[in-house]
Amino acid sequence: MATKFVSERNIKFLLYEVFDVESLTKYEYYSEHNRKMFDMVLKAAVKLGKDLLFPIFEEMDRNQPELVNGEVKVHPAVKTIMKEFGDGGWISSRVPFDQDGEQLPSMVADICEFIFAAANYSANAYPGLTFGASHLIESFGSKALYDTYVPRMRSGEWQGTMALTEPEAGSSLSDITTMAEPTTEGYYRIKGQKIFISAGDHDGVANVVHLMLAKIEGAPAGVKGISLFVVPKKRIDEKGDLVSNDVVSSGVYHKLGYRGCPIVQLSMGDKNDCRGWLVGEPHSGLKCMFQMMNEARIGVGMGATAMATAAYYASLEYTKTRRQGRKVSQKDPSLSPIAIIEHADVKRMLLFQRAVIEGAQSLLMQCSKFVDYQKVLTGEEREKYHLLLEILTPVAKSYPSEMGIQAISQGLQCLGGSGYCDDYPLEQYYRDCRIHPIHEGTTGIQGMDLLGRKVIMHDGQAFLLYINELQSTIKAARKYKVLEKYAGELSDALTKLEEITHHLVSIAQLQGPEAFLADATLYLEFFGHITVAWQWLLQGIAVQKALNNGAAKKDYNFYRGKMFTLRYFFGYELSKTLGLAKRLVADDRLTVEMQPEYFND
């Protein structure tokens, strides 16, 4: 029933007014691009989303994948989607010109993915995963592997996957048991089980290429013994034909949501005839996989934001048309009911959604810009943006995942009873979005990554760079009278963040890692609110610049809405840091000392 799933106005605001993507074209690598071309790409992405993906958003959910005769059957449109995304160059939008790609800035390519995910998250997973897997072969694989797999993946003929999780190794990858036995033929013999593999098998493509973690016989224990392999569903035999590679789909999960994309259980080597080809060096698989995982984590944040964005527009549409009740100051029952968007509490629920989605979208575009900087800069400058991206990745993954659920829940609430029924899309968004705090590393894992790794890495260098970035935004914001208050509030929160971080690091030294990391999830949440407040301040600066430069009248309402949402974020969201801050310094080892047996009864 909803008709809109993204705001093109907001996309352009972020791309051109906040993050100035055009400035990238002054660098050699992006010099052949210009704004006109970016606009065309965006227009094409919106059209593809509208025409191909959005119309089957519900259909793909209602007809979930099933395992039939050993193969996973998916919605027939998946074949078309993979072909369109291949032919249209969407899978290779980030690929350099010299590999026949579009060489688009990440900022533009990522926003296209955002559009696709908003239109239909499950549908976008197929080409999205394929790009990620092909990029891994491109980065670390041999020329032979590249030639065999990459072109067919970029054309959408073959699906790519990331095959990590096993029945006994989810969050703890060091415990994988899938084995790779070396042969003298240039390949390894693979034996093991993988579970929860997104797009792990389906009939919309001719082949599925797994980028799979396994251990070579005799490898060291733990993560140091993990290697990365290409393990295709079908391999090419001597005659050039595709033949079975002994990868069996042993199950497809029935899930709460995200049902348009199959999550598959795989069994390799039941007939002792599963071949895998090593990617990169032996035992360096996790390092390779982390490139893809980091991209995938930001991708999850992007998808979570996109989904919550689509849900926001569906709920906004409803609140504009649904009439119910009267202003609390006008109780006369003979007056006509008003549109529910007139009620302060409904405006609050809409502002909350908007504060989350536009704040998160800004953060993700910030990350994309840092990716672009890594491409065009060198030396210390490059390292700077690398470190900033490292520290922002767990936040960019988890803030949209966690807050997106709350935003969608408020969107559902705007529809009342109708939100609970499948006549409207909110219930599906509510189901779909629950995957995000789980896949590609749970929120708990992200918290430990942020506090236990990123904040302290290189003697706190990434953290320091982060603080500097925020401080320079605060300084810039202070030039605008209307932003002074918010600059001050962010500055206070940032001081608190520094204090708490130093406090926690001292706990690490005094009490060890368990006490240090016990509340890492809360630290992540705290860090997230502050990071998104920074993004709102950046947006506020862009609004003030536009207004000072004589914005077009047709844009007034957009900018007013932005400023109200900024005020909402600082008033309602940033204040959530107060309670978290209190807890983070409490230091009573409560969750460490709690014993499992006290949960009995």
Catalytic residues: 440
Which two structure tokens, joined as six digits, stand for 30? 């992006």
CA 263 to chain centre: 18
The SS3 call for residue 180 is strand
Given the complex with a copy of itself, which of 549 and 599 has the nearer CB atom?
A: 599
In the region spanning residues 358 to 387, those forming contacts with a copy of itself, defined by CB under 8 A, are: none
Taking CB under 8 A as the rule, which mask of x and - marks residues 102-121 in contact with a copy of itself?
--------------------
Q: In terms of C-beta density within 10 A (0-12 exposed, 13-18 middle, 19 or more buried), how is residue 516 classed?
A: buried
CA dist 463 → 143, 221, 258, 506, 524 (Å): 38, 32, 35, 16, 13
- Least distance in angstroms from the C-beta of 274 to a copy of itself: 23
Sites for a copy of itself among residues 190-209 (CB under 8 A) = 195-196
Tokens of 375: 């491409």
> Of residues 388-407, which lie at the interface with a copy of itself (CB under 8 A)?
405
CB 125 within 8 A of CB 261: yes
Q: Per CB under 8 A, which of residues 231..290 are in contact with a copy of itself?
A: 253-258, 263
Q: Which is nearer to a copy of itself, 253 or 466 (CB)?
A: 253
* Residue nearer to a copy of itself on the CB measure, 23 or 591: 591
Choose one: 6-14, 84-92, 387-395, 537-545; the region binding a copy of itself (CB under 8 A): 6-14
Residues 290-309 that bind a copy of itself (CB under 8 A): none
* Bridge partners of residue 472, in order along the sequence: none
User: Judged by CB under 8 A, which of 3, 69, 329, 378 binds a copy of itself?
Assistant: 329
Minimum CB distance to a copy of itself smaller for 320 or for 502: 320
Which of 67, 206, 438, 546 forms a contact with a copy of itself (CB under 8 A)? 438
Residue 168 CB, nearest approach to a copy of itself (Å): 7
Tell me how far, at minimum, the Cβ of 320 lies from a copy of itself, in Å: 7
Cα 52 to Cα 44, 144, 216, 282, 428, distances in angstroms: 12, 34, 43, 42, 19
**Is residue 549 within the footprint of a copy of itself (CB under 8 A)?**
no
Distance in Å, CB of 240 to a copy of itself, minimum: 38
Query: CB under 8 Å to 600, separation ≥6 — which residues?
Result: none
Tell whether residue 595 is a contact of a copy of itself (CB under 8 A): yes
- The number of residues that bind a copy of itself (CB under 8 A) is 114
Q: Which is nearer to a copy of itself, 3 or 595 (CB)?
A: 595
Residue 29 neighbours by CB distance under 10 Å:
15
CB of 89 to a copy of itself, least distance (A): 29
Q: How far is Cα 210 from Cα 279, in angstroms, rounded to an integer?
A: 12
Is 227 near a copy of itself (CB under 8 A)? no
Residue closest to 160 by CA, chosen among 185, 138, 192: 138
Based on CB atoms, which residue is closest to a copy of itself, 6 or 81? 6
Q: Which of 383, 359, 379, 361 is CA-nearest to residue 370?
A: 383
Q: Is residue 223 within the footprint of a copy of itself (CB under 8 A)?
A: yes
Stretch that binds a copy of itself, among 112-120, 146-154, 408-416, 469-477 (CB under 8 A): 408-416
Q: What is the DSSP string of 207-224?
A: EEEEEEEEEETTPPSGGG
Nearer to a copy of itself, 475 or 589 (CB): 589
Minimum CB separation of residue 561 from a copy of itself in Å reads 4
State which residue, 183 or 575, has the beta carbon closest to a copy of itself.
Answer: 575
User: Closer CB to a copy of itself, residue 92 or residue 577?
Assistant: 577
564 binds a copy of itself (CB under 8 A): yes
Q: Pattern 569-588, binding to a copy of itself, x per CB under 8 A?
A: --xx--xxxxxx-xx--x-x
Q: Taking the mean position of all CA atoms in its chain, how far away is CA 35?
A: 25
Interacting residue with a copy of itself among 412, 470, 487, 507 (CB under 8 A): 412
125 counts as binding a copy of itself under rule CB under 8 A:
no
Nearest-angstrom CA–CA distance, 307 and 27: 33
DSSP state, residue 570: I
Name which of residues 333 to 362 contact a copy of itself (CB under 8 A): 333-334, 337, 339, 341-351, 354
Backbone torsions φ then ψ of 262, nearest 5 degrees: -75, 140
Site string for a copy of itself, 486-525 (x = CB under 8 A): --------------------------xxx--xxxxxx---
Q: Does 24 bind a copy of itself (CB under 8 A)?
A: no
What's the distance, CA 427 to chain centroid?
A: 21
C-alpha distances (whole Å) from 217 to each of 182, 228, 516 are 8, 13, 36
Q: How far is CA 299 from CA 258, 364, 440, 536, in A?
A: 15, 9, 9, 21
| 174 near a copy of itself, judged by CB under 8 A | yes
Supply 31's token pair: 């010099």
As measured in angstroms, the least distance from the Cβ of 337 to a copy of itself is 6
Choosing from 20, 51, 416, 468, the residue that interacts with a copy of itself (CB under 8 A) is: 416
Does 96 participate in binding a copy of itself (rule CB under 8 A)?
no
* Integer Cα distance of 536 and 566 in angstroms: 6
Neighbouring C-beta atoms of residue 312, cutoff 10 Å: 29
Told to check if 531 binds a copy of itself by CB under 8 A, we report: no
Yes or no: say if 314 and 378 are a contact pair by the CB < 8 Å rule.
no
Question: Residue 423 CB, nearest distance to a copy of itself (Å)?
Answer: 8
The least distance separating a copy of itself from the CB of residue 332, rounded to whole angstroms, comes to 8
DSSP conformation letters of 312-366: HHHHHHHHHH-B----TT---TTSPPPBGGGSHHHHHHHHHHHHHHHHHHHHHHH
The burial class, CB within 10 Å (0-12 / 13-18 / 19+), for 546 is middle
